[in-house]
């Protein structure tokens, strides 16, 4: 499956990217090690609150009250940054700091590849870089047969936590977590993860979670953290 790498400015729906079938995140992010300290943390259901959305009709101005074309202000899509590849990821609240993010592509079955190194995170290189308009995606393993991996504590992330992504141009994109959710891999919400963000620069962090299929040795679910760009400290 070919995936468009063109996301266009701040407008347009990322329909081409939303057609990706994220099956099991490359089939990786695999079984918990016998030596692991226990199951990885799972998202607290109380954190799975809706991200900011379009205001209800009652809160929108009526057509008769809308400004004329000459008076209409330019749309404000919020903070955006110029393209620059991510090189490091820091999440203080879960004691995560990792450098050397690798580029990830789409596998032969239409799934997002998983990093080959269990202690490294990777970013979807055909998508926006962190800080650009659209959903930037960073994925990593939760554990391996040797023990916890880079995203072992991702399920413990809470709404309001800060996520910092250091970029190749020397800048840092700072995000705030909106919610954390867990989905069965068979029903992964591809369109929600990869689709148009309504003009905002957003971030998705993805790993595995839930129970393990004892036959395959793989986790049955994916954990996804949703975050949006904010001014840096």
Distance CA 100, CA 125 (A): 14
Q: Which residue has better confidence, 115 or 233?
A: 115
35 inside domain: no
**6 in a structural domain:** no
pLDDT per position as a tens digit, 156-213: 999 999 999 999 999 999 999 999 999 999 899 998 998 888 889 999 999 999 888 8
pLDDT of residue 43: 81
One DSSP character per residue, 73-114 reads: PPP----------EEEEEEGGGTEEEE-PEEE-B-TTSPBP-
Query: In sequence order, which ranges of the chain are alpha helices (DSSP H)?
Result: 15-18, 190-194
Supply the CATH number for residue 144's domain.
2.40.260.10
- Residues constituting the chain: 233
Task: Check residue 62 and give its pLDDT.
Answer: 41
The answer to the question of residue 131 being in a domain is yes
The tokens for 109 are 């079955």
CA atoms within 13 A on the CB side of 39: 10
* pLDDT tens-digit map of 55-88: 343 333 444 444 445 555 544 556 899 999 999 9
What pLDDT does 102 receive? 97
Q: What is the pLDDT of residues 80-122, one digit of tens each?
A: 999 999 999 999 999 999 999 999 999 888 889 999 999 999 9
Is 9 domain-assigned?
no
pLDDT at 70: 54
Rg (CA), the chain: 18
Q: Which domain holds residue 178?
A: 78-229
d(C-alpha 87, C-alpha 172), whole Å: 10
The closest of 15, 18, 1, 14 to 190, measured between CA atoms, is 18
Please check whether residue 215 lies inside any domain of the structure.
yes
Q: Tell me: the pLDDT tens digits for 16-54?
A: 333 333 333 444 444 444 445 567 888 865 444 334 443
Whether 59 is in a domain gets the answer no
- pLDDT of amino acid 213: 87
The pTM score is 0.73
Distance of alpha carbon 28 from alpha carbon 36, whole angstroms: 17
Q: Is residue 5 pLDDT above 70, yes or no? A: no
pLDDT of residue 37: 57
Q: How many domains does the chain have?
A: 1
Q: Is residue 195 part of a domain?
A: yes
Residue 13 lies in a domain: no
């Amino acid at each position: 499956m070919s995936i468009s790498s063109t996301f266009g400015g701040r407008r347009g729906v990322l329909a081409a990217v939303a057609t990706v079938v994220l099956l099991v995140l490359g089939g990786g992010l695999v079984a918990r090690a016998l030596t692991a300290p226990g199951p990885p943390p799972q998202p607290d259901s109380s954190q799975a609150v809706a991200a900011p959305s379009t205001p209800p009709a009652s809160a929108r101005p009526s057509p008769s009250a809308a400004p004329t074309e000459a008076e209409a202000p330019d749309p404000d899509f919020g903070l955006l940054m110029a393209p620059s590849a991510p090189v490091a990821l820091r999440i203080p609240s879960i004691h995560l700091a990792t450098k050397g993010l690798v580029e990830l592509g789409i596998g032969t079955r239409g799934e997002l590849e998983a990093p080959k190194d269990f202690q490294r995170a990777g970013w979807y290189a055909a998508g926006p870089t962190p800080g650009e308009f659209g959903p930037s995606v960073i994925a990593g393993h939760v554990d391996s047969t040797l023990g916890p991996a880079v995203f072992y504590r991702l399920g413990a992330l809470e709404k309001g936590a800060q996520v910092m992504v250091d970029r190749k141009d020397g800048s840092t994109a700072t995000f705030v977590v909106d919610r954390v959710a867990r989905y069965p891999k068979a029903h992964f919400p591809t369109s929600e993860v990869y689709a148009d963000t309504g003009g905002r620069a957003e971030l998705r962090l993805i790993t595995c979670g839930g129970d393990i299929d004892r036959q395959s040795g793989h986790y049955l679910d994916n954990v996804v953290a949703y975050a949006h760009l904010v001014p840096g400290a």
